[in-house]
Amino acid sequence: MVPLSDRTVREALHDLRWRTEEMLADGPEAVVVEVSGLTRLSSATVAALLWAKRRCTSRGVRLLLTDPDDALAGQLHRAGLDTVWDIQTGATPHLKGPRA
């Protein structure tokens, strides 16, 4: 799981980009990005998440965004990004197999 927040987004995106292959090597069911700490989407955040989505999709792994607040969920919907990523509200899911 990769947590994103407004305070740590730069470091977390760097971590996501550099660790994606490592996370995917474990054969997870999904790479989970917990976004409850984000209040806005920057272009860098969107670009990194789209890149991660492509990497995950190429390995047959879901990229799951969890716990957006109402404002962020609205931004994702208005931008049409809710059709790009699997987005789950509520508690972070328990997935079978190794977690990323």
pTM of the entire predicted model:
0.80
Compute the distance between CA of residue 23 and CA of residue 71 in angstroms, rounded to an integer: 29
Contacts of residue 18, defined as CB under 8 A and 6 or more positions apart, other chains included, come to none
Q: List pLDDT tens digits, range 34-45.
A: 999 998 888 889
The torsion angles phi and psi of 6, rounded to 5 degrees, stand at -60, -35
Helix (H) or strand (E) holding 30: strand 30-37
Instruction: Please compute the mean of the pLDDT values over residues 63-92 and round it to a whole number.
Output: 89
Adjacency order of strands within the sheet including 86-88:
2-5, 30-37, 62-66, 86-88
Q: List pLDDT tens digits, range 51-61.
A: 999 999 999 99
Q: At 7, is the pLDDT very low, low, confident or very high (cuts 50, 70, 90)?
A: confident
What domains sit in the chain, N to C, each tagged with a CATH number? 2-88 (3.30.750.24)
Instruction: Please compute the mean of the pLDDT values over residues 20-45 and round it to a whole number.
Output: 89
Compute the distance between CA of residue 21 and CA of residue 42 in angstroms, rounded to an integer: 24
pLDDT of residue 96: 41
- Are the C-beta atoms of residues 17 and 49 closer than 8 Å to each other? no
Compute the distance between CA of residue 98 and CA of residue 96 in angstroms, rounded to an integer: 7
The token duo for 38 is: 């984000």
